[in-house]
Amino acid sequence: MIRRGLRLAAVAVAAGRYEVMPTPTIAEAVLEHVPRDVTVAVTASPTKGLDATLELSCQLRGEGYNVVPHVSARLVRDVTDLAEIVARLREHLISDTFVPAGDADPPAGRFDSSLSLLEALHALCIEEGTLLPRVGITGYPESHPKIGDDVTIQAMRDKRKYASYVVSNLCFDARTLNGWVRCALAV
């Protein structure tokens, strides 16, 4: 049992991602310190804007990294903006995104939740006759600081038909994480 646990831990570490913020010097730091076989997730924030996230994602993809840009729903203005984002990601062969609601308050446009953006993304892909990209959604094993567990769990249920995977926030308590995974699998 211990060996199996160690093997699973090794797989989890090997499949880990680096998460970076789009700062002026981060591309150089990634190029210098991060191997090309490591997936790099690029965060989005209301202060830096979504364009900084997309620019860094496209730059790192051009350098050979597998990148996962965070496309925060509250930073996307409308369906036209979403279509431009999707076209930009496709142009750079980026086929994996992480879609949180984001912290922009108020939202930049019509998308106030990740579900509303995912629904629009799904409709856009159907209209264009293209495949939905891999999409990660949020999970909160230790609760969200501003949203109740019942709301976050229902949101996961509502988004599951659009999601390829769930990304949890940091959790250092194995029992909490184990219980949360069991609950999520029951969904």
Which is it for the CA torsion 177, 45, 165, 20, positive or negative? negative
Task: Give the containing element (helix H, strand E) for 168.
Answer: strand 165-168
| Residue scoring higher pLDDT (14 or 167) | 167
Q: Each residue of 98-138: pLDDT tens digit?
A: 999 988 899 999 999 999 999 999 999 888 888 778 999 88
For the chain, the structural domain boundaries read: 17-186
Topology at the third CATH level for domain 17-186: TIM Barrel (3.20.20)
pLDDT exceeds 80 at position 147: no
Mean pLDDT, the chain, whole residue set: 86
- Given a contact cutoff of 8 angstroms between Cβ atoms, the answer to whether 112 and 73 are in contact is yes
